[in-house]
Amino acid sequence: MEDNRRALSARLSVMMEKEGFRISDHELKGLVSFDLIARRDEDSYVIKVLYNVDTLRGDASEELLSIGHFSNSAAIVIGEKSSSGNLEDGLVYFRHGVPIMTLQTFEDYVRGIKPFVFSGPGGYYVSIDGHEMKKVREKMGLSIGQVSSSVRISRRSVSLYESGSAVTIDIFLKLQDLLAGDLRKEIDIHALSSSYSNHPKIDRMNDRFLESVLSLMGSAGYDATLLRKSPFEAMARDALRSLIFMAFPQSAEADALRARTIMKIAEFMEEEALLVSRSVTDKEMIAGCAVSNINEFIEFCEKGELLSLIEKKKSLA
Does 253 or 14 have the greater pLDDT score?
A: 14
**Each residue's pLDDT tens digit, 28-52:** 666 678 999 999 998 999 999 999 9
- Ranges of CATH 1.10.260.40 domains, the chain: 125-179
Give the Cα separation of 88 and 109 in Å (integer): 14
- Which of 23-37, 99-113, 198-212, 259-273 is predicted least confidently? 198-212
CB 75 within 8 A of CB 68: yes
Averaged over 88-113, what is the pLDDT? 96
Confidence of residue 277 (pLDDT cuts 50, 70, 90): confident
pLDDT at 205 over 60: no
pTM over 0.95: no
Instruction: Check: CB of residue 266 under 8 Å from CB of residue 24.
Output: no
Average pLDDT of every residue of the chain:
89
What is d(CA 281, CA 277) in angstroms, rounded to the nearest whole number? 7
Overall average pLDDT of the 5-13 stretch: 93
pLDDT for 278: 80
Cβ neighbors of 32 (< 8 A, separation 6 or more) are 60, 229, 230
Domain ranges in the chain with CATH number 3.40.1350.10 = 2-115+189-194
Are 271 and 242 in contact, with CB atoms under 8 Å apart? yes
Q: How confident is the model at residue 206 (pLDDT cuts 50, 70, 90)?
A: low
Is the separation of the CB atoms in 313 and 305 below 8 Å? no
- Residue 202 predicted with pLDDT over 80: no
Q: What is the pLDDT of residue 90?
A: 95
Please, which pLDDT band fits residue 77 given cuts at 50, 70 and 90? very high
Q: Does domain 125-179 have CATH number 1.10.260.40?
A: yes
Nearest alpha carbon to residue 301 among 260, 244, 252, 249: 244
pLDDT at 17: 96
- CA 43 to chain centroid, in Å, comes to 12
Percentages helix, strand, coil for the chain (3-state, rounded to 5) are: 40, 25, 35
Closest CA to 49 of 4, 112, 85: 4
Instruction: Return phi, psi of residue 267, to 5°.
Output: -65, -40
Averaged over 68-73, what is the pLDDT?
92
Regarding the domain delimited by 2-115+189-194, which CATH topology (the fold level of the hierarchy) does it fall under? Trna Endonuclease; Chain: A, domain 1 (3.40.1350)
Residue 280 pLDDT > 80, yes or no? no
Write the DSSP assignment of 242-287 as a string of letters.
-EEEEE--S-SGGGHHHHHHHHHHHHHHT-EEEEEESS----SEET
Helix (H, G, I), strand (E, B), or coil: what is residue 214? helix
Phi-psi region of 20 (alpha: psi -120 to 50; beta: other; left: phi over 0): left
Distance CA 255, CA 240 (A): 30
204-316 classified as CATH 3.40.1350: yes
pLDDT value, residue 226: 87
Higher pLDDT, 257 or 118: 118
Q: What is the 8-class DSSP label of residue 21?
A: -
Which pLDDT value is given to residue 61? 92
